[in-house]
Structure 1
Amino acid sequence: MKKCVMIMFVLCLSLHISMNVEAVSPKKLSLASKSAILVDSTTGRVLYEKNGYERMYPASLTKIATAIYALENGNLNDIVTISKNVEHTDGTKVYLVEGEQVTLKHLIQGLLINSGNDAGVAIAEHMSGSVSEFAKNLNTFLMDKVGVSATHFVNPHGLFAKNHYTTAYDIAKITNYAMKNKTFRQIFETKELSWNGKEWKTVLITHHLMLKGELEYKEVTGGKTGYVNESGQTLATTAENKNIRLTVITMDAKTKSEAYNDTKKLLDYGFKYHSLI
């Protein structure tokens, strides 16, 4: 009888250990993005990565850095007068026009929610006088304050330049740093915002499909999209449940579907294998 009890005890113990090992064991993920990383937002611990430290072009993920720099170093109530240079910025816009006056906070909202490149240039000119000077100041901030080591930006928006680069790890680090700022979090999680510009009156809607609910993932708390030809699809996503907060960065996916599928795989992995650790 004692022998049977002992055998049953050993079997149960073995099953318990096996189940716990399965719960924390790394799982090989099939990711289409060239580079990707999953990070514990609270501790900064890397939970999974694929080429996470490889130099990449970030496209509009750059705007996460621009936003937190402006939030920490500017006065949100400042009135910014839009220049001709801002009006003629290429790419995605909030359609600012020369002479228009906008608060710095509203420019940051237009930068993050609608990915306005013109808002980025307006912020740069207001903060530093020019895009080139802003880039120098931004790089110093990212190195000295955020602690990145493989990032070099030459503009505030992420339009392609050969010497404008970063890594998935650095973008995750910048995002986690930014998320400590209450105003940044509020803007980063915004799904819709009224925009009453001089020439453009509309409702801005986040481009991030998970955040706005077009692709359902209820734990998602914020996000930023990016794309230029040279970078492919880039995506930054934050999410949390009652046990853990996660940050996912995917870079150089060929399609939006690949970027979002990879993000979902990484979030699923993080919540399944690391929520209770």
Structure 2
Amino acid sequence: MKKLLILFFVIYLSSTPKIDVLAQSSQDQELQLKSEAAALLDTETNAVLYAKNADQRMYPASLTKIATAIYAIDKGDLDSIVQVSANAVRQDGTRVYLEEGEQVPLKKLIQGMLINSGNDAAVAIAEHIDGSVEKFSENINQYLQTVIGVKNTHFANPNGLFDENHYTTAMDLAIITNYAMKNPVFAEIFGTKELQWQGQSWQTQLYTHHLMLKGELPYPGITGGKTGYVTESKQTLATTVDNGNLKMTAVVLKSDLKKDKYDDTAMLFDYGTAHFQHASIKQGDIFKVDDKDFVPDHDLMITEEKDGAVKKVDENGLLSIENKSGQVLQQVQLTYKKPIVKKELPKKQTKESSSSSPLVYSAGGFGLILIAFIAILFGAGRKFNRNL
């Protein structure tokens, strides 16, 4: 099993300064994962903690709805009313049993889509935001590339029903989930275990399909999750956890059995908890390269291995956080600190320097002395004559 070196950019909280973060991972330890692809990221710093075939193009199934949800939250008005179309009602697979013409608040549809994986709700959202599924697909792909920064994803629909042109990677999905988790509305819905649903034709209690979040397969600290399955994608799963010291995001793709994806997720979280911790770099810290100084724009949280980390800065100010084996966990772009140039004050002028010529000054000074001496002699002479 060959691990990949991962390189990517991620956008941080909209309320904080933007940080360009690059991360890559290649652990010495092989985890015996049954899923074909997997990615484990630090949710807060975006450091890659583990990766298996993480850039391999795969089908996501309903994990697509993570992207649909954050796109709708970012672009739409959550209080706006969506009128459900016949096209939305006709969707196959899991639904919340919407009726044609039914009017539903956008936020409620996002809840039905994430918690109960409603394919009909996903299409209703797409048509409300962009007018059609086709236009939605065009716009969300641009959004994923330009706003979130993923490069290996192309979505043809909002719900993940199979399409050959509907694909992503474990790494891209983890990046998308990390971005989404920084939005409090998304994080709340993603972590909802149950919800009372009052629809036009369906009144029920919705329960999350994610067995770790639901508590049927207990794991401490689970904060959110989304399941997926279609024949072509097999079992897929996205999960977030907070162990009290570290928040992590795990994505596993193409597991043969439902149990496998949960076992793999638990194994990834165990690995992350055992090996990694947070540290900080202060705004005033200076990193020197040759005769250049580089500094962070603000205090930074970084992820490092518990047995130590090595910090290296290249000539362009790219800070790499490495483990003792030289494997890069995280990279952060620092800012060049321009040296302060001290201006030389002009020399204080003296009588000598202000005179046009030392010789002239000397002669002038001598003349004044001579005149004063003559005046003294003249005054003394007059006094002498009066005394006579």
Equivalent of 1:62, from 61, 64, 79? 64
Secondary structure of the residue aligned to 1:193 is strand
The TM-score with structure 2 as length reference comes to 0.64
Structure 2: how far apart are the matches of 1:266 and 1:219?
Answer: 14
- Name the structure where helix makes up a greater proportion of residues: 1
Structure 2: how far apart are the matches of 1:122 and 1:56?
Answer: 25
| Contact preservation (8 Å) 2:38, 2:53 | yes
User: How big is the shift at 1:104?
Assistant: 0.2
Secondary structure of the residue aligned to 2:134 is helix
User: How big is the shift at 1:26?
Assistant: 4.2
Equivalent of 1:242, from 241, 244, 253? 244
1:161-211 alpha-carbon deviations (Å, 9 max, x no partner): 000000000000000000010000000000000000001100110000000
Secondary structure of the residue aligned to 2:214 is coil
Q: How does 1:136-215 map to 2 (within 5 A)?
A: 136-215=138-217
Structure 1 counterpart of 2:276? 274
Q: How does 1:228-267 map to 2 (within 5 A)?
A: 228-267=230-269
Structure 2: how far apart are the matches of 1:134 and 1:209?
Answer: 30
Any unmatched runs of 5+ in structure 1? 1-24
Higher RCO by CA contacts (8 Å cutoff, separation 6 or greater)? 1
Structure 1 runs of 4+ off > 3 angstroms? none
1:137-178 alpha-carbon deviations (Å, 9 max, x no partner): 100100000000000000000000000000000000000000
Structure 1: how far apart are the matches of 2:63 and 2:87?
Answer: 22
Structure 2: how far apart are the matches of 1:275 and 1:95?
Answer: 44
1:45-101 alpha-carbon deviations (Å, 9 max, x no partner): 111111011000000000000000000000001111111111111111000010111
The TM-score with structure 1 as length reference comes to 0.90
Structure label with greater radius of gyration: 2
Equivalent of 1:31, from 24, 33, 52? 33
User: How big is the shift at 1:258?
Assistant: 0.5
Structure 2 counterpart of 1:16? none
Q: How does 1:36-185 map to 2 (within 5 A)?
A: 36-185=38-187
Structure 2: how far apart are the matches of 1:241 and 1:84?
Answer: 44
- Letter of the 1:162 partner, please give it: E
Structure 2: how far apart are the matches of 1:155 and 1:86?
Answer: 12
- Letter of the 2:173 partner, please give it: I
Structure 1: how far apart are the matches of 2:237 and 2:243?
Answer: 20
User: How big is the shift at 1:242?
Assistant: 2.1
User: How big is the shift at 1:275?
Assistant: 3.2
- Letter of the 2:137 partner, please give it: A
Structure 1: how far apart are the matches of 2:170 and 2:55?
Answer: 6
Change beyond 3 A, Cα 1:111–1:202: same
- Letter of the 1:42 partner, please give it: E
Identity %: 58
1:95-151 alpha-carbon deviations (Å, 9 max, x no partner): 001011100000000010000000000001101111010011100100000000000
Secondary structure of the residue aligned to 2:213 is coil
Any unmatched runs of 5+ in structure 2? 1-26, 279-303, 305-388
| Contact preservation (8 Å) 2:220, 2:243 | no
Structure 1 counterpart of 2:359? none
- Letter of the 2:47 partner, please give it: R
| Contact preservation (8 Å) 2:66, 2:177 | yes
Structure 2: how far apart are the matches of 1:151 and 1:99?
Answer: 33
